Amino acid sequence: MNILGIETSCDETSAAVLVNGAVRSNVVSSQRCHGDFGGVVPELASREHERLIVSIVDAALKEANITKNGLDVIAATAGPGLIGAVMVGLCFGEGLAWALGKPFVPVNHVEAHIFSPFIGDGAAARAPDGDFISLTVSGGHTLLSVVHQDLSYEVVGRSIDDAAGEAFDKTGKMLGLGYPAGPVIDRLARQGDPAFHRFPRALTSSSRTSRNYHGNFDFSFSGLKTSVRTWIDRHDREYIERHIPDIAASIQDAIVSVLVEKAIAAARQYRAGAVSVAGGVSANTGLRAAMGEACRKEGLELFIPDAAYSTDNAAMIATMADLMISRGKAGENAYDAAPFARFIPVGRAAH
């Protein structure tokens, strides 16, 4: 089965071709036009997607050596995301599917992240037996879910304010590290001392409000942001410049330790045998190392997508459509699926 996946929910324009579960092409164009603004500008994102969508889809088909008529299914992100950006890929996908008379599958972007660690030769075959804990950490979402074999899942924790990626990006912006700052902090942190300054770890067993922790898998990163702001205001420019790698390492340590602690606690509480980490922040080398270490100690299997599939990409959209089809959850030809902006955890992975 040949599936074309399309992803345009934020600032990556991407198209991918999946042939019998294997990725034949995954073309991703990351928009560079937002850097000066310190964040994604929705209107600019939509315009860039419009400018690029035809050539990116063409490139994905060409690389996979498949013509439009050789496609069996077309899938695109229907949300959540920037509504104008989502609409570009969704309308393009629906229109293409309708014109070709092929089935169209609308995909939930967050659900595609959840299953992205299993992209490869037949995603279904690579998924763990039994329940697993999914930590989905991106610029827009921080979710802890229990995922079942039939693609259904329950969200057991989420960020009550900033997403983990936002915590990296916003604190990095305060330090003048540009946008997105996550990968820059990751790089700088490798030369810094994580014990240089202890930033707060909200809603954890070691936080000052630890009485809030028991069974609470929610996250909060706004206190970290305030704390970094306060630290910057209290020190002079020269001292700050000298210690940028140390501060980057300390910020990363604060974010990573919370993510690891909660994922492991959830695995214990829900008796899961595996943990998966997905979304842009799963590319973080500190998180990969710390989660690897913690899972080894706990005897848990760990699934993390290849770096190419951790940030937004269309291979995960095509893979999710493949999983939905193989488990009978793709529904009928949905040429009129509506775009949506916000993620509403409904407890079921399929629409």
80 binds, among Zn ion, ligand KG4, none (CB under 5 to 8 A by kind): none
Q: How many residues does the chain have?
A: 351
Which amino acid, residue 131? Answer: D
The residue range among 64-72, 138-146, 206-214, 335-343 that interacts with ligand KG4, by the rule CB under 6 A, is 138-146
C-alpha atoms less than 13 angstroms from C-alpha of 103 in its C-beta half-sphere: 17
User: How far lies 59's CA from each of 27, 313, 341, in Å?
Assistant: 7, 14, 28
Burial class of residue 32 in the structure, from the number of CB atoms within 10 Å of its CB (0-12 exposed, 13-18 middle, 19+ buried) = exposed
- Buried (b) or exposed (e) across 71-84, using 16+ Cβ within 10 A? bebbbbbbbbbbbb
Token pair recorded at residue 120: 């490869």
Q: According to the binding rule CB under 6 A, does residue 128 interact with ligand KG4?
A: no
CA dist., res. 89 & res. 77, Å (int): 7
Q: Which residue from 184, 312, 317, 320 is in contact with Zn ion, where contact means CB under 5 A?
A: 312
Q: According to the binding rule CB under 6 A, does residue 159 interact with ligand KG4?
A: no
| Complete DSSP assignment for 181-231 | -HHHHHHHHTTS-TTSS----TTSTTSTTGGGTTT---B--HHHHHHHHHH
Q: According to the binding rule CB under 6 A, does residue 77 interact with ligand KG4?
A: no
Task: Give the nearest distance from C-beta 134 to ligand KG4 in angstroms.
Answer: 14
168 binds, among Zn ion, ligand KG4, none (CB under 5 to 8 A by kind): ligand KG4
How far from the centroid of its chain's Cα atoms is residue 332's Cα? 27
Size of the site for ligand KG4 (CB under 6 A): 18
CA atoms 175, 180, 182, 185: torsion sign:
negative
Burial class of residue 143 in the structure, from the number of CB atoms within 10 Å of its CB (0-12 exposed, 13-18 middle, 19+ buried) = buried
Q: According to the binding rule CB under 6 A, does residue 169 interact with ligand KG4?
A: yes
Which one, 106 or 139, has the nearer CB to ligand KG4? 139
Task: Give the nearest distance from C-beta 109 to Zn ion in angstroms.
Answer: 6
Q: Which residue from 21, 106, 117, 180 is in contact with ligand KG4, where contact means CB under 6 A?
A: 180
Mapped onto helix, strand or coil, the DSSP state of residue 74 is: strand
Q: According to the binding rule CB under 6 A, does residue 284 interact with ligand KG4?
A: yes
Q: According to the binding rule CB under 6 A, does residue 14 interact with ligand KG4?
A: no
Token pair recorded at residue 147: 């995922």
The residue range among 57-65, 211-219, 276-284, 326-334 that interacts with ligand KG4, by the rule CB under 6 A, is 276-284
The residue range among 87-95, 125-133, 182-190, 236-244 that interacts with ligand KG4, by the rule CB under 6 A, is 182-190
Task: Give the nearest distance from C-beta 130 to Zn ion in angstroms.
Answer: 26
Task: Give the nearest distance from C-beta 290 to ligand KG4 in angstroms.
Answer: 12
Q: According to the binding rule CB under 5 A, does residue 162 interact with Zn ion?
A: no
Q: What residue ranges bind ligand KG4 (CB under 6 A)? A: 10, 138-140, 165, 168-169, 180, 182-183, 186, 279-281, 283-284, 311-312
